[in-house]
Amino acid sequence: MKKRAISSIYIMLAIVLAVVSKFLVSEIFDIFIAVIGIVGALEMCNMLEKRGIKVSRFLSSMFIIVLYLTVVIALNASVPIYMTLLYMLDACLIYLIVIFIYELIIAKEDRFGQALSTSLNSLLVMVYPALLLSVFFIINHMEAFTTLNIEVPYLSLILIVFIWGIALLSDTFAYLVGSTLRGPKLCPKISPNKSWSGAIGGVIGGVLMGVITYLLIKNIDAMNIILTGTKLNLAWFMILGGLGSAVSQVGDIFESWLKRKAGVKDSGNFMPGHGGMLDRVDALMFVLVFVGIFLIFLI
C-alpha cells in the first residue's frame, strides 16, 4: 500500500509537470509521451514473448520516435492533419518493411518465413501502444494544425486535459461506484473485478469531465472560439465524455485480455504497486484515439 501511494504521487506529479511544461516548451510533452510509448512497447514485447511470439524488440519499441519525426516533418511542411495521419500510416508500412529486411538478414533458418512472422508480430507492438499514443503528438501541436480563422490560445492544452481527464475520472468513478454497489460482473472471465455498476459509474465520470471541460472553455474568453468556431456545445462534450468513458473501459478490458493470454498479473513492474506502464495508459490510449481524432477533424 505504501509503495502504491508513493507511486501514485509520482504519477500525478509526472502528468502535471508534463502538462504544465506546455507553457514553456511543447516538445517536453512530446518527450513524455515518447517515453511512455517506449516503455509500454517493451512491456508489450515481454507479454508477447511470454506467449512464445517472437518480435523485433528494439526496432518495434523505437517506432514511436519515427512517428514523432513524421509529425514534425508534416508540421514543417504545413501538411494538413488528414494527410499527416495518412503519412503516419505510411510510416508504419515502411517501418514494417524495414523490420522484415532486418530480420531477413539476421534470421538463421527459414529466412523468409521467420522474417515475415517476426515482422508481422512486431506490427502488434507498433500499433499498440506506439500508433495509438502518437495521436498525442498531433493533439499537442493543434495550434499549428488548426483551420480556425482566429488563433486559439492553449487549444492543445485543453484537449489534452479533456482526454486525460475522461480516462482518470472514468477510472476513479468506476472504482468508487463498483466497489460500493458491486452487483453483476461485466466480464468475469477476463477481468473479474469489473462490474456493471462500476461501468455505469465510469460513464458518469466521463460525462462529468465533459461538463467540467465545457464550463472551463465557456468561462475563459480566449477559448470561446472553440465553441463559436465549431458545433461543440454542452451536449457534445457530455456525449464525448460518456462515449469516451465507455471506450476507455474497452481499452482496460483489452489489456486485461492481453495479460491473461500472457499469464501475467501486470504488464510490468515499472511503477511499484501499480504494475507496468500499459496498466496506467491502457484506457487512455483508446480514449485518445476515439475522442482525439473526432476533435481533430471537427476543429
pLDDT, one tens digit per residue, over 28-63 is: 889 999 999 999 999 999 999 999 999 999 999 999
- Whole-angstrom distance, CA of residue 171 vs CA of residue 181: 15
Q: Which of 106, 140, 174 marks a domain boundary?
A: 140
- SS3 of residue 185 by DSSP: strand
Whether residue 295 is contained in a domain is answered as yes
Is the pTM value of this prediction over 0.95? no
Mean pLDDT score, 61-66: 96
Same-domain check for residues 135 and 165: no
- Whole-angstrom distance, CA of residue 136 vs CA of residue 69: 13
Whether residue 146 is contained in a domain is answered as no
Same-domain check for residues 213 and 232: yes
Q: Which of 140, 164, 185 marks a domain boundary?
A: 140
pLDDT at 3 over 80: no
Amino acid found at 227? L
Domain extent, residue 188, equals 1-24+151-299
Total number of domains in the chain: 2
Q: Are 67 and 34 in contact (CB under 8 A)?
A: no
DSSP string, 255-297: HHHHHHHHT-SSS--SBTTTB-HHHHHHHHHHHIIIIIHHHHH
- Whole-angstrom distance, CA of residue 232 vs CA of residue 227: 5
CB atoms within 10 A of CB 57: 18
- Whole-angstrom distance, CA of residue 269 vs CA of residue 6: 14
pLDDT in tens, 194-224: 899 999 999 999 999 999 999 988 888 777 7
Q: Are 210 and 232 in contact (CB under 8 A)?
A: no
Whether residue 126 is contained in a domain is answered as yes
Same-domain check for residues 114 and 247: no
Whether residue 145 is contained in a domain is answered as no
Amino acid found at 28? I
Whether residue 71 is contained in a domain is answered as yes
Q: Are 223 and 154 in contact (CB under 8 A)?
A: yes
Same-domain check for residues 61 and 186: no
Same-domain check for residues 12 and 35: no
286 contact partners, CB below 8 Å, separation of at least 6: 132, 247, 248, 250, 251, 254
Q: What is residue 1's predicted lDDT score, i.e. its pLDDT?
A: 46
Local confidence band at 78 (pLDDT 50, 70, 90 cut-offs) = confident
